[in-house]
Amino acid sequence: MPAEVPVITGYYRYTDIWYEWAAALPDPADRAPVKAIFAHDALVHPDHPLHVDGVKGVQMYIGTFDSGEARLLFSSAQIDYIRYWLHEMDLTKNVVPLPYSDCLLTGANLKTVSTVVYSDGGSVRNAIKVIDKNNKRLKGSNPEVRHKRHVFEVVRNLWAAKGGVWCALDFESWELEHSVMTEFGWSLVGWRDGQKIEECGHIIVDEGRKYANSQYVPDHRYNYMFQGKSEIVKKTVVKQRVQDMIAKLAEFGPIFLVFHDNTSDIKDLGTLGVNLEGLSYMLPEAAVENGIFAVDTADLIAALLGEEGGNKRSLEKMCSLLQIRTSYLHNAGNDAYYTLKALEAMAEGDPVDIQREKRWPQQTPAGVKVELKPWQEDSDYSDEEGVFGEVVISGAKHASPQDQV
């Protein structure tokens, strides 16, 4: 028996398929059907063989290289399916040969691959122009910006895999002595047996109740707005509750701990003695079965805005830019909830360049950095002028102290 030939899967550049494949086919009679099946308006039709149920238009892929440059792609599975479909429909005499093997891009060639949907033929037609424009903007960009953009796409892919649990954590402390912990809050989304599970909560540290904030940040510890009611517990109990919660999260599989500017929160976890052995700041490139990883939404919003390090945007400013309405920030439970909602808004959106342009159209005149308008930079300005619409978080309610404790 002949030795088995390994099946290599990967991706083909859209440009190779659209411009080159049909012309290279040995039988001239096969060229017109192959060309027609990839026509822009044909690709997005609901009767197209590549149509995915529940998706309006065509689902394709955007792959990025180490340089950060992107390419629009078809998967090799899509191309293979088209070959056999055309023959089965008697549109080609034989199953047409695959494109040259040199055209195939594999995991060794691509740093990330993300799904993208184009709803109409015009969007497909313009996709190459948009991607080429963004590639030119990336040339000479700061390596830190390219790294953040890469992390953004990795987060999108991991979120789309619907595996493990994403848990936002937040601690509040006394503004005059940060070792005095006053609150803890959490908000999580996880998947178990394909079912989405959501949970959030808020704890007030009993020993910290006599320490009130007001000079630098407001004291909203009694204004928790979401699932359940605030609990008042001793610090030793808080320590055990947090330890038990982190341990229980492992039942979901991989744990993605979500923070907004993670430095102080991870320090607080360490102060509580929470076991963070194996915590990685490097995200896996693909879905994994276990592990514990840190995700920082401050880095994600920076990637979306095309910004380098330095002054990180506050949770309030990030939510304002993402049009997520907030109330009673600096309550640990609320902050954790909004942090996770911000991550979800970015992770469920389009690839970074497409999402950026949808959120802030024509505000990237040079490079990939967004030039924000004054009302976009200042959340108070936007509230007064009514420039933005709002994303109203379902389930939110304004709380009073007597409602919570």
**Sign (positive/negative) of CA torsion 335, 338, 339, 340?**
positive
β-bridge partners, 105: 11
Angle between helices 28-37 and 76-88 (to 10 degrees): 120
**pLDDT of the residue at 390:** 46
Q: How confident is the model at residue 367 (pLDDT cuts 50, 70, 90)?
A: confident
Best CA proximity match to 166, nearest among 184, 186, 190, 185: 190
Best CA proximity match to 356, nearest among 3, 70, 97: 70
The owner of tokens 């848990």 is: 167
**pLDDT of the residue at 20:** 94
Each residue's pLDDT tens digit, 261-287? 888 888 888 888 888 888 999 999 888
Whether the pLDDT of residue 52 is over 50: the answer is yes
**pLDDT of the residue at 388:** 42
Mean pLDDT of 244-253: 93
CB 267 within 8 A of CB 244: no
Q: Which one of 108-112, 175-179, 197-201, 394-398 scores highest in mean pLDDT? A: 197-201
Mean pLDDT of 106-110: 86
Distant-in-sequence, close-in-space partners of 202: CB < 8 Å, separation ≥ 6: 183, 184, 185, 224, 226, 228, 230, 231, 331, 332, 333, 334
**pLDDT of the residue at 393:** 52
Per cent of the chain over pLDDT 90 is 70
Whether the pLDDT of residue 400 is over 50: the answer is no
**pLDDT of the residue at 362:** 93
**Secondary structure class of 92 (helix, strand, coil):** coil
Please give the Cα distance from 382 to 330 (Å, whole number): 21
Q: How confident is the model at residue 402 (pLDDT cuts 50, 70, 90)?
A: very low
Q: How confident is the model at residue 8 (pLDDT cuts 50, 70, 90)?
A: low
Whether the pLDDT of residue 387 is over 50: the answer is no
CB 279 within 8 A of CB 293: yes
**pLDDT of the residue at 401:** 40
3-state helix, strand, coil in the chain (%, to 5): 40, 20, 40
Residue 365 vs residue 392, higher pLDDT: 365
Best CA proximity match to 94, nearest among 17, 25, 16, 4: 25
Pure H helices in 89-234: 121-138, 143-160
Mean pLDDT of 191-212: 94
Q: How confident is the model at residue 116 (pLDDT cuts 50, 70, 90)?
A: very high
Best CA proximity match to 340, nearest among 169, 226, 156, 164: 169
Please give the Cα distance from 353 to 308 (Å, whole number): 16
Mean pLDDT of 217-239: 94
**pLDDT of the residue at 141:** 77
Angle at 379 between CA 373 and CA 381, to 5 degrees: 70
Whether the pLDDT of residue 396 is over 60: the answer is no
Q: Residue 104 — φ and ψ, nearest 5°?
A: -75, 125
CB 298 within 8 A of CB 260: yes
Whether the pLDDT of residue 210 is over 90: the answer is yes
Distant-in-sequence, close-in-space partners of 156: CB < 8 Å, separation ≥ 6: 114, 346, 347, 348, 349, 351
Q: In what order do the strands lie in the sheet with 70-75?
A: 104-105, 11-13, 70-75, 58-64, 112-118
Distant-in-sequence, close-in-space partners of 112: CB < 8 Å, separation ≥ 6: 63, 64, 150, 153, 154, 157, 285
Lowest mean pLDDT among 6-10, 103-107, 294-298, 299-303: 6-10
Pairs from 173-181 (Cβ < 8 Å, separation ≥ 24):
173/208, 173/268, 174/208, 174/211, 174/213, 175/213, 175/215, 175/216, 175/217, 176/211, 176/215, 177/211, 178/264, 179/271, 180/208, 180/211, 181/205, 181/208, 181/235, 181/238, 181/268, 181/271
Q: What is the mean pLDDT of the chain?
A: 89
Each residue's pLDDT tens digit, 232-248? 999 999 999 999 999 99
Residue 399 vs residue 227, higher pLDDT: 227
**pLDDT of the residue at 29:** 96
Mean pLDDT of 335-348: 98
- What is the number of alpha carbons within 13 Å of residue 28 lying toward its C-beta? 0
Lowest mean pLDDT among 24-38, 99-113, 262-276, 391-405: 391-405
Best CA proximity match to 353, nearest among 306, 388, 389: 306
**pLDDT of the residue at 5:** 39
Mean pLDDT of 374-378: 84
Mean pLDDT of 150-173: 95
What CATH architecture is 160-404? 2-Layer Sandwich (3.30)
Mean pLDDT of 12-18: 96
Domain ranges in the chain are 11-139, 160-404
Lowest mean pLDDT among 81-85, 164-168, 270-274: 270-274
